[in-house]
A = this chain, B = another copy of it.
Amino acid sequence: MRISELSRTGGVPVATVKYYLRTGLLHEGRRTSATQAQYDETHATRLRLIRALIGVGGLSIAATRAVLDQLDDPPESMHELLGMAHDRLKPADQEDVDTAAAEALVREMGWQIDGADPASLHRLAEALAAIDAADFTLPPGRLRDYADVMQALADLEVGDVPTESRDAAVHYVVLGTILAEPLLLALRRLAQINASSRRFAAGAREPRRRRSVTS
C-alpha cells in the first residue's frame, strides 16, 4: 500500500507517518521510485503499536524506540526480562532517594527482587517519600494491603506469560506492563466512585425513590 493508505489504516496523519519513518520508529518501505514506496501489513501493525505506546502508554519517542528495540531484539534470559523491560520503560532518576522503607516492605513481603529492578524500587521509594512529604498518612496496614493486592495480580499476570517463544513472552511482558497501567488506574477511580456512591449517597437516594412512588 502507499503511504496515504497506511496513514488511513493507522488513523495517523501522513506527516506523522513520515516523522515515524524519519526517526526510525517505523521501518522503511520498499522503494518503487525516487519519491514513492510501498508499505505492507508489517508497517500497519507496527504503526498501531506505536500509537498505543505513545497515546495511552504516554511514552516519549525515545522510550517508544527503546520498547520497540526490546521487542525486536529480546534478551536471552526470561528471568531478567521484566527488570530490563521496567528499566527501559522508565529508567531510574538520578536523584537520590532513601530506599530503606521500600526495601523493608519488599523484605516484609518476602519478595525475591535481588537487585533485578532498581528502577521500580526507586519509584516505590519516591512514592513513599512523596506520601511522607505531603503529610499524608496511610491508614494502618494499608501499605501491606496494597502490596498484597498487587502481589495477587502479578501472580496472575506472570502465570499467563507465554513460554512457547521468547518473542511472544517479551511482547506480552512489555505490552502487558505498559498497557495495563492506565487500565488499572481508571478502574480504581471508577471503583472509588462506586464505593463512594454506596457509602455516601445511599441516604440521599432512598428518600428520593420513596418520594417518586408517592408523588
Contacts and interface: CB of A to CB of B under 8 A. Distances in A.
Contacts of A198: 112
Interface in A154-192: 154-161, 172, 175-177, 179-192
Contact of A188 (B52, B184, B197): B184
A157 B195 contact: yes
Interface string A79-101: 10111001000000000000000
A163 B145 CA distance: 22
A192 B121 CA distance: 12
Contact of A191 (B56, B151, B160, B191): B151
B131 A179 contact: yes
B195 A79 contact: no
Contacts of A160: 139, 142
A116 interface: yes
A133 B187 contact: no
A184 B86 CA distance: 15
A184 to B, nearest CB: 6
A149 interface: yes
A123 B127 CA distance: 22
Interface stretch (A15-23, A27-35, A43-51): A43-51
B82 A196 contact: yes
A135 B193 contact: no
A56 B193 CA distance: 23
A59 to B, nearest CB: 11
Contacts of A146: 153, 180, 183-184, 187
Interface in A29-82: 45, 48-49, 51-53, 55-57, 78-79, 81-82
A196 B135 contact: no
